[in-house]
Amino acid sequence: MWGLYLDSKAFKDGLFHAVVQYKIDNSKALVILPRANYELDIKEIMELPAPPRFIYGERVSPCNHPDMIGVIVGIHWHFKRNCYFYTISVNGKTKSKRYFDDDLY
């Protein structure tokens, strides 16, 4: 299952407003991605309609810069567009641009 974690207590762990893949175990959410074996309160997760096109750690390239290869380091939810957007890292440096599904391949 994929969801958006909304509890601000997870801010220091980098999970606040992050998209997480999880499974439910004894009424708790056990995170699979981005960090395995992290337990969250199921009530603080907004379930998302479908999985993201790209997942954490996947190698991608921006469509307008096919020579640039990056890795997905962040998956977020855009509330106005009602879709995922991604943060990538290229050569160890996180890009500040938001990438949407159609921006990457």
Sequential pLDDT tens for the chain (105 residues): 999 999 888 777 778 889 999 999 888 899 999 988 888 889 999 999 999 999 999 999 999 999 999 999 999 999 999 999 999 999 999 999 999 999 999
Same domain, 42 and 12: yes
Q: Which domain holds residue 74?
A: 59-103
What is residue 30's predicted lDDT score, i.e. its pLDDT?
A: 93
Q: What is the count of structural domains for the chain?
A: 2
Same domain, 67 and 99: yes
E-state strands within 26-92: 28-33, 38-41, 45-47, 59-60, 70-78, 83-90
What is residue 103's predicted lDDT score, i.e. its pLDDT?
A: 98
Same domain, 69 and 97: yes
Same domain, 66 and 43: no
Residues 32, 45: Cα–Cα separation, whole Å: 14
**Tokens at 61, concatenated:** 């390239």
Same domain, 39 and 71: no
Same domain, 65 and 42: no
Q: Is residue 98 situated within a structural domain?
A: yes
pTM greater than the 0.75 cutoff: yes
Residues 74, 59: Cα–Cα separation, whole Å: 12
Same domain, 64 and 40: no
Q: Is residue 52 situated within a structural domain?
A: no
Q: Is residue 95 situated within a structural domain?
A: yes
